[in-house]
């Protein structure tokens, strides 16, 4: 069974710092990997999706990379802002009905 | 934001009572999913649907049933609620393999079983 791990579970940084969130998975046979943001008491918001054939995707200050062979993905956030404070989740898609989520990294950006 | 609504948003019920949660989408997406989110477990798939009247089990389907009679609605039923089913339930949709099964989530339903 696919296992998805996100370390650290919590991260606190000062405003303006660049940061990297990590996601690792145990089986490289994935269809894609998706990064989400979750604010307290809210649903998940899709940030980036990387297809298995891609190496990275960018959206604004966010850049996500994927290394299937090593079972790793990173989410890079440039020039962090207090509004970036949230829990960030990664999810691996194996097929259209098999999705495996990490437990998330809780990010706090201190003004 | 994808047009996904869930109802009710909060519910408190007693052990042994049936409960139905509703997910409604306005995106005409083919796939719909029900997840539960619990501390320490992340999101886990309960059931999913790949079309009207086409459903199948996910990782944690015991004690749950689903129905999809229209493209836009996906219902999750707890036949006889138990305290272990206290959780936050999320509905998600995705269009197809063509867009990589990219998932969009609803706002969630917080269910408490007393």
Give CA–CA dist A5/A100, Å, rounded: 10
Residue B45 touches partner A, C-beta closer than 8 Å:
yes
The percentage of residues in chain A with a pLDDT greater than 70, rounded to a whole number, is 100
Output the CA angle B93-B91-B77, nearest 5 degrees. Answer: 125
Of A32, A89, A99, the CB nearest to B45: A99
Tokens of B74: 């996906």
pLDDT at B1: 56
Give CA A39 to chain center in angstroms: 14
Residue B90 touches partner A, C-beta closer than 8 Å:
yes
Residue A34: its chain B contacts at CB < 8 A? 102-103
Q: What is the pLDDT along chain B (114 residues), one digit of tens a residue?
A: 569 999 999 999 999 999 999 999 999 999 999 999 998 888 999 999 999 999 999 989 999 999 999 999 999 999 999 999 999 999 999 987 777 788 999 999 999 999
Give CA B93 to chain center in angstroms: 10
């Amino acid at each position: 069974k696919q296992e998805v791990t996100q370390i650290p579970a919590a991260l606190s940084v000062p405003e303006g710092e660049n940061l990297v969130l990590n996601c690792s998975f145990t089986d490289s046979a994935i269809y894609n990997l998706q990064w989400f943001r979750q604010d307290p008491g809210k649903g998940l918001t899709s940030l980036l999706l990387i297809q298995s054939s891609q190496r990275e995707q960018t959206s604004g200050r966010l850049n996500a990379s994927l290394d299937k062979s090593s079972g790793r993905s990173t989410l890079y956030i440039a020039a962090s802002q207090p509004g970036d404070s949230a829990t960030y989740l990664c999810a691996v898609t194996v097929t259209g009905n098999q999705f495996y989520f990490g437990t998330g990294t809780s990010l706090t950006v201190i003004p | 934001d994808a047009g996904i609504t869930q109802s009710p948003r909060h519910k408190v019920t007693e052990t042994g009572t049936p409960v139905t949660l509703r997910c409604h989408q306005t995106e005409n997406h083919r796939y719909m999913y029900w997840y539960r989110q619990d501390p320490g477990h992340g999101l886990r798939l309960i059931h999913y649907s790949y079309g009207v009247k086409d459903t199948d089990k996910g990782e944690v389907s015991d004690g749950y049933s689903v129905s999809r009679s229209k493209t836009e609605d996906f219902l999750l039923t707890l036949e006889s609620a138990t305290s272990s089913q206290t959780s936050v339930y999320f509905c998600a949709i995705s269009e197809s393999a063509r867009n990589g099964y990219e998932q969009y989530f609803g706002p969630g339903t917080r269910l408490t079983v007393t």
